[in-house]
Structure 1
Amino acid sequence: MILYVLLALLNGLIIGTSRAVNGQLSTRIGPFRASVWNHVVGFAFLSVVLLALHSRPDAHSAPVAAYLGGVFGALFVAVNSHVFPRLGAMNASLLVISGQVLSAVTIDCVNQRTVPSGPRILGVVLVLLGLALPRLKARIRPEETKERLTNS
């Protein structure tokens, strides 16, 4: 189990680094061109990995969802490349992760046809509070928070 936790943490570091790199590339060549380069390089890398593992993907047996996942992934990278330089690393990441948590709870509830459990509701409330906290702090200490927001 600890291996999977460590892999998930490593994946988070890689995603954060990827977003920063794509954000910088986006400011230079535009978000959609940055997304194209992201996917071209990713395709080449995965092709080399598959060849090294002597594995050949069977495109005919892949479900339609596999192709939709690719479309959503490309759209995610393009939108993220556009938003990241404008919102900053922390805000963009917080909003993306919040959207993922909220949509995951919603999808689970729809698929299972159940009402979310207490811990899940608490998790959603904490995510929403996390999104609202900077704005609440700005109302409590407007001069200090305004200065920090303009510097970041």
Structure 2
Amino acid sequence: MPTSTYAFVMLCAGIGIPILAALNAALGSKIGSPVAASVMLFAIAFCSAALVFMLGGFKPEASIASAPKHLFLAGVLIAFYVLSITFIAPKFGVGNAVFFVLLGQLMSAAAIDHFALFGAQLNPLSLTRAGGIALMAFGVYLTQLA
């Protein structure tokens, strides 16, 4: 698959994050329970992922059992993200919440790439890359001034 396709898919995923935050925060407010809204989100997400899994014909059952247990922490992290954005976005604003999520993503992505953590591709933090991340972080800061 060409790199431009990867970039487009991730752009779409990025577009979806604030939409997810706004929809789930609104659902949590509407039904009076951010936790129930998050449970529904995960139930629908599970069904969607299970459908893709079944249609894809994947058979990784044996490899799942042998995977290092710390890799499953990703499930806890996505639950933390969804629960926190669902609770906080209605009080702090979707934009504010997502901007700080973005800042956290910039910081952790740079560290993961620099040290090739969790089997990620090594991409050392050069001065140019650090400058770009700092510029993006400054942009996030500027959004908070208004």
- Fold match (TM-score > 0.5): yes
Aligned pair 1:81/2:86, yes or no? yes
Name which of 34, 38, 45 aligns with 1:35. Answer: 38
| Structure 1, 21-30 or 52-61: larger mean CA deviation | 52-61
Q: Residues 22-51 of structure 1: CA distance to partner in whole angstroms, max 9, x if unpaired?
A: 111121332222221111111112122222
Question: Considering only aligned residues, what root-mean-square deviation do their CA atoms show, in Å?
Answer: 2.5
Aligned pair 1:101/2:90, yes or no? no
Q: Residues 67-124 of structure 1: CA distance to partner in whole angstroms, max 9, x if unpaired?
A: 1111111111111111212222222221111110012223444558xx8321122123
Name 1:116's counterpart in structure 2: 125
In 2 relative to 1, CA 4–109 (structure 1 residues): closer, same or farther, beyond 3 Å? Answer: closer
d(CA) in 1 for partners of 2:58 and 2:116?
33
Q: Counterpart of 1:6 in structure 2: which amino acid?
A: F
Contact 2:96 2:144 in 1 (8 A): no
Identity of aligned residues (%): 30
- The SS at the match of 1:26 is helix
TM-score, normalised to structure 2, is: 0.77
Residue-pair matches, total: 136
Residue 9 of structure 1 deviates from its aligned partner by 1.4
Name 1:11's counterpart in structure 2: 13
In 2 relative to 1, CA 108–54 (structure 1 residues): closer, same or farther, beyond 3 Å? Answer: closer
d(CA) in 2 for partners of 1:43 and 1:69?
14
Q: Counterpart of 2:70 in structure 1: which amino acid?
A: A
Q: Counterpart of 1:34 in structure 2: which amino acid?
A: A
Larger radius of gyration: 1
Unaligned 5+ runs, structure 1: 137-144, 146-152
Contact 2:25 2:87 in 1 (8 A): yes
TM-score, normalised to structure 1, is: 0.74
In 2 relative to 1, CA 109–47 (structure 1 residues): closer, same or farther, beyond 3 Å? Answer: closer
d(CA) in 2 for partners of 1:42 and 1:66?
19
d(CA) in 2 for partners of 1:126 and 1:34?
35
In 2 relative to 1, CA 56–92 (structure 1 residues): closer, same or farther, beyond 3 Å? Answer: same
- The SS at the match of 1:116 is coil
In 2 relative to 1, CA 135–82 (structure 1 residues): closer, same or farther, beyond 3 Å? Answer: closer
d(CA) in 1 for partners of 2:144 and 2:82?
27
